[in-house]
């Protein structure tokens, strides 16, 4: 990659920034309800090489896209059309909006986090670039601040109303640990992933093109239900504050869709808290059962699955060594996450690919991933 940087910019890179994609073990569609999530940064990563300039121009070469964005920091503003340029310019704009005066730079960017596969490629890119731009401009930021600014870029520059989980996982990850994150207080707890298990991410081959509009629809459905419930229970700030007792007692107030959407949030938050105990105690079978339960809830109550994801989970249930499986990410395509016996991880990955190809005629990929460190910036 150093040679590529020199070939494009005719000088040497001075710093390296990297940030992982993320896999969410449990806690799907709970972050924007101020709930609990249980993600891990993974060893599929975005890497940026950079060298500061003496002016306010930034040149960012994406090796994945095969194109270069050149822009003045003085001219940055969200574009109406969201393309790859938005995801690499947004972090610079967000840093500037925070009052951090940036220097220009030359940047070479590459990533092996699959785009649109539910492994948070966008957060990986934005966290990586926030870390890089802060470093080349002499700005000191904590990992949590990097995550917050990267989320600002996603929300306002890329027009994606996401919660904070993806950026926090990518920025604050810890090797061999998952993160229990309270999305209200931003309190984090690193929970060790037992050495007896591994994580396999299986690609459905379906890109989640519907996820954006359906994401907003789910938010609206939950908000409608919460407005009705707050009329009786003013202390309910967010769906995270609901209990099943309250939800069942007030079920007549809600449409069936509102009830099921909120039931997913309540039960998924409960599964995250149970997962902390199961992982901490080495109860990998119990952790696996939580993943199966999560997928049933996501498919039935929140309705964000699709036939291909359901099939991958069904196949996983018949593969030796799989402890639990569910969709991960926004849904409507992308990947499943499989908690598997570590000794069989490679065999499980191969088996999932073969069985899925036999059922669909579509040959995709299944990858063993490791819980990895968060954003890392080093001087070269």
Active site residues: 166
**Strand, helix or coil at 12?**
coil
Question: How are the residues of the chain apportioned to helix, strand and coil, as percentages rounded to the nearest 5?
Answer: 45, 25, 30
Query: Contact 146/171 with Cβ under 8 angstroms?
Result: yes
Tokens of 228: 């009705």
Please give the C-alpha separations between residue 144 and each of 24, 112, 119, 153, 205, in angstroms, as whole numbers: 18, 23, 19, 14, 33
Contact yes or no for 202/312 (Cβ under 8 A): yes
d(CA 118, CA 102): 31
Tokens of 184: 């209200």
Rg over alpha carbons for the chain, rounded to the nearest Å, is: 21
**What's 286-353 look like in SS3?**
HHHHHHHHHHHHHHHCCCCCCHHHHHHHHHHHCCCCEEEEEEECCCCCCEEEEEEEHHHHHHHHHHHH
Q: For residue 43, what is the enclosing H or E element?
A: strand 36-52
Q: For residue 344, give Cα distances in angstroms to 45, 79, 279.
A: 24, 47, 19
């Amino acid at each position: 990659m150093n040679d590529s940087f020199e070939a494009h910019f005719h000088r040497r890179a001075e710093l390296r920034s990297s940030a992982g994609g993320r896999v969410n073990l449990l806690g799907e569609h709970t972050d924007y309800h101020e709930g609990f999530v249980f993600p891990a940064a993974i060893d599929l990563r975005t890497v940026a090489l950079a060298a500061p300039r003496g002016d306010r121009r930034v040149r960012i070469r994406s090796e994945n896209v095969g194109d270069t964005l050149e822009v003045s920091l003085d001219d940055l503003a969200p574009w109406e059309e969201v393309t790859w340029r938005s995801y690499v310019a947004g972090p610079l704009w967000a840093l500037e909006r925070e009052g951090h005066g940036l220097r220009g730079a030359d940047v070479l960017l590459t990533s092996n986090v699959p785009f649109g596969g539910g492994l948070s490629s966008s957060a990986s890119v934005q966290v990586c670039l926030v870390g890089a731009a802060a470093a080349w401009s002499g700005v000191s930021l904590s990992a949590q601040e990097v995550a917050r600014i990267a989320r600002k870029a996603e929300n306002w520059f890329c027009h994606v109303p996401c919660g904070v989980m993806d950026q926090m996982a990518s920025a604050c990850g810890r090797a061999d640990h998952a993160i229990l994150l309270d999305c209200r207080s931003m309190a984090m707890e690193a929970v060790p992933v037992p050495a007896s298990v591994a994580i396999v991410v299986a690609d459905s081959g379906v890109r989640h093109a519907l996820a954006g509009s359906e994401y907003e629809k789910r938010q609206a459905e939950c908000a409608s239900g919460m407005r009705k419930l707050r009329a009786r229970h003013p202390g309910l700030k967010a769906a995270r504050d609901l209990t099943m007792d309250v939800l069942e007692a007030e079920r007549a107030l809600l449409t069936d869709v509102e009830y099921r959407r909120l039931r997913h949030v309540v039960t998924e938050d409960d599964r995250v808290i149970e997962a902390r105990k199961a992982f901490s105690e080495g109860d990998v079978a119990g952790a696996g059962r939580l993943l199966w339960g999560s997928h049933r809830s996501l498919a039935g109550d929140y309705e964000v699955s699709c036939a291909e994801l359901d099939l991958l989970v069904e196949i996983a249930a018949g593969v030796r060594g799989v402890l639990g499986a569910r969709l991960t990410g926004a849904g409507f395509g992308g990947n499943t996450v499989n908690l598997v016996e570590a000794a069989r991880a490679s065999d499980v990955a191969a088996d999932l690919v073969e069985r899925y190809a036999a059922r669909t005629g579509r040959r995709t990929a299944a990858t063993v991933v490791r819980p990895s460190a968060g954003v890392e910036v080093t001087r070269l």
